[in-house]
A and B are shown apart, each in its own frame.
Chain A
């Protein structure tokens, strides 16, 4: 039995093509994945991301607990509403999940975790809580729906639908959030465009979705979500990183704080590790489409290195195929590599990602 978000019926009424996404019945597209992609880059689109799980952590020692639980440093969260992207690691330094932490007050932090890892994450967090902070209250918020409204006109269209939200959210910088009545509104996203991620009571979400639609926000499915995040150079858990990879092998070194005195789960393993792999961007020079798990072969200083594409696909904005690939740290931008596609060796160029941000091609 597939799990359903509060918007399931609404998606069906809007002719979504539904797919099984890690046990959730989710919209893949509403007609054309490409049109939805362009709508987000050029105007505004919306995604049902209610399959992701908000978890509230409440209690006096919440900040201390999070200092220990995650690899980024929650002491960077000084202003209420501020958000932080981080990995949660195993003691061996592998990535259990990537998540966003919102600082609401000293006694209330909210984290949002991936759908496919939600059960595992909750078990892990509760296990750690029981060891070091048994007084903390941990609550899964399946009573909330989450809608990401993304694109250059996304914020304006949200304000059109909730006029009173304008004053509360106009001054929000990236990675800041505000609470307004039933709405929790954060200036975050997974597309490389401006916009909001909005949490609201599940039962109110169908009407809100319809109102956004009437304001000209295009419904967009998981297909467009994936091509947008790949262009934006954002990692996807389970593809670009998992429990077998260190954050530094997945382009996530910037999210790890090894400088502070603070100890956190996985820190010692990271300090002891010797990182030999990195994540790079690839742009396909020949015709074709790069796909996950294709082998990458690079010649460098007379040596041959093998790597693998972790996320590959077609970039609708660039109109070429792009990928994230894991390969030896020796390989640098502008080098040419080969990707094995069926019986062919296609040429690709190593680039720094993101590939696209705020509607502009960066490569």
Chain B
């Protein structure tokens, strides 16, 4: 599994991509989808919802289990990926290409504080032991 170097990561296995307009896209990592197995349901936040960093904001459910998705940074939801509701298996096929929602960060410094690809790889290595 390769970890894209242009993304940021959380310890709870979300990925974060800063878009050209300054908003961030959020998804779950390939490692997270692999642990969960076949995805069958996602519950997305609503546009306009505001979350603080590390707050529960979405749910990803596989055949096996339900997993909370935590907001990687504080901010307001500006868009959700409704296509995933009908095709949650897209997350299994392309976790880093399947964003769940986009946030307008209220504190851009929080984005900078997230793990980079090297830091996330180190986290995965440590979890294996």
Interface, chain A (partner B; CB < 8 A): 17, 28-29, 32-34, 223, 227, 287-289, 291, 313-314, 316, 321, 342
5 pairs of A and B residues whose beta carbons are closest in the complex: A34-B38, A314-B40, A289-B61, A289-B41, A314-B63
Some 29 contacts from A to B, beta carbons below 8 A apart, are A17-B37, A28-B37, A28-B64, A32-B37, A32-B38, A33-B37, A33-B38, A33-B63, A33-B64, A34-B38, A34-B63, A223-B37, A223-B63, A223-B64, A287-B41, A287-B43, A287-B85, A288-B41, A288-B43, A288-B61, A289-B41, A289-B61, A289-B66, A291-B66, A313-B63, A314-B40, A314-B41, A314-B63, A321-B41
Q: A289 with B40: in contact, given A33-B64, A34-B63, A227-B63 (CB under 8 Å)?
A: yes
Contact of A316 among B43, B61, B63 (CB under 8 A): B63
B59 in the interface, Cβ–Cβ < 8 Å?
yes
Give chain A nearest CB distance to B57 CB in angstroms.
12
Q: A32-B38, A33-B63 are in contact. List 10 more A-B contacts (CB 8 A).
A: A17-B37, A32-B37, A34-B63, A223-B63, A287-B41, A288-B41, A313-B63, A314-B41, A316-B63, A321-B41
Chain A residues contacting B59 (CB-CB under 8 Å) are: 342
Chain B residues contacting A287 (CB-CB under 8 Å) are: 41, 43, 85
Chain B residues contacting A314 (CB-CB under 8 Å) are: 40-41, 61, 63
Give chain A nearest CB distance to B129 CB in angstroms.
17
Chain A residues contacting B85 (CB-CB under 8 Å) are: 287
Give chain A nearest CB distance to B42 CB in angstroms.
9
Give chain A nearest CB distance to B75 CB in angstroms.
21
Chain B residues contacting A17 (CB-CB under 8 Å) are: 37
Chain B residues contacting A313 (CB-CB under 8 Å) are: 63
B contact residues, total (Cβ < 8 Å): 11
Chain A residues contacting B63 (CB-CB under 8 Å) are: 33-34, 223, 227, 313-314, 316
A316 and B37 alpha carbons, distance in the complex (Å): 14
Interface centre among B40, B63, B66 (most CB of A within 10 A): B63
Chain A residues contacting B43 (CB-CB under 8 Å) are: 287-288
Q: Between A and B, how many residue pairs show CB distances below 8 Å?
A: 35
A275 and B63 alpha carbons, distance in the complex (Å): 33
A28 and B59 alpha carbons, distance in the complex (Å): 22
Closest to B34 in A: A17
Main secondary structure of the interface of A (DSSP, over half): mixed
Mark interface residues in B25-42 (1 if CB within 8 Å of A CB, else 0).
000000000000110110
Interface centre among A227, A291, A314 (most CB of B within 10 A): A314
Closest to B43 in A: A288
Chain B residues contacting A33 (CB-CB under 8 Å) are: 37-38, 63-64
A29 and B92 alpha carbons, distance in the complex (Å): 15
A327 and B69 alpha carbons, distance in the complex (Å): 32
Closest to A19 in B: B64
Closest to A222 in B: B64
Chain B residues contacting A29 (CB-CB under 8 Å) are: 37
A314 and B88 alpha carbons, distance in the complex (Å): 13
Which chain B residues numbered 49 to 78 have a C-beta less than 8 Å away from chain A?
Answer: 59, 61, 63-64, 66
Closest to A291 in B: B66
A228 and B38 alpha carbons, distance in the complex (Å): 15
A342 and B69 alpha carbons, distance in the complex (Å): 13
Chain B residues contacting A321 (CB-CB under 8 Å) are: 41
Which chain B residues numbered 93 to 113 have a C-beta less than 8 Å away from chain A?
Answer: none
A287 and B44 alpha carbons, distance in the complex (Å): 12
A29 and B64 alpha carbons, distance in the complex (Å): 11
Give chain A nearest CB distance to B114 CB in angstroms.
26
A288 and B60 alpha carbons, distance in the complex (Å): 10
A287 and B82 alpha carbons, distance in the complex (Å): 13
Chain B residues contacting A34 (CB-CB under 8 Å) are: 38, 63
Chain A residues contacting B41 (CB-CB under 8 Å) are: 287-289, 314, 321
Chain A residues contacting B66 (CB-CB under 8 Å) are: 289, 291
Chain A residues contacting B38 (CB-CB under 8 Å) are: 32-34
Give chain B nearest CB distance to A21 CB in angstroms.
13
Give chain B nearest CB distance to A197 CB in angstroms.
24
Chain B residues contacting A288 (CB-CB under 8 Å) are: 41, 43, 61
Closest to A313 in B: B63
A32 and B61 alpha carbons, distance in the complex (Å): 15
Give chain B nearest CB distance to A322 CB in angstroms.
12
Give chain B nearest CB distance to A236 CB in angstroms.
15
Give chain B nearest CB distance to A278 CB in angstroms.
27
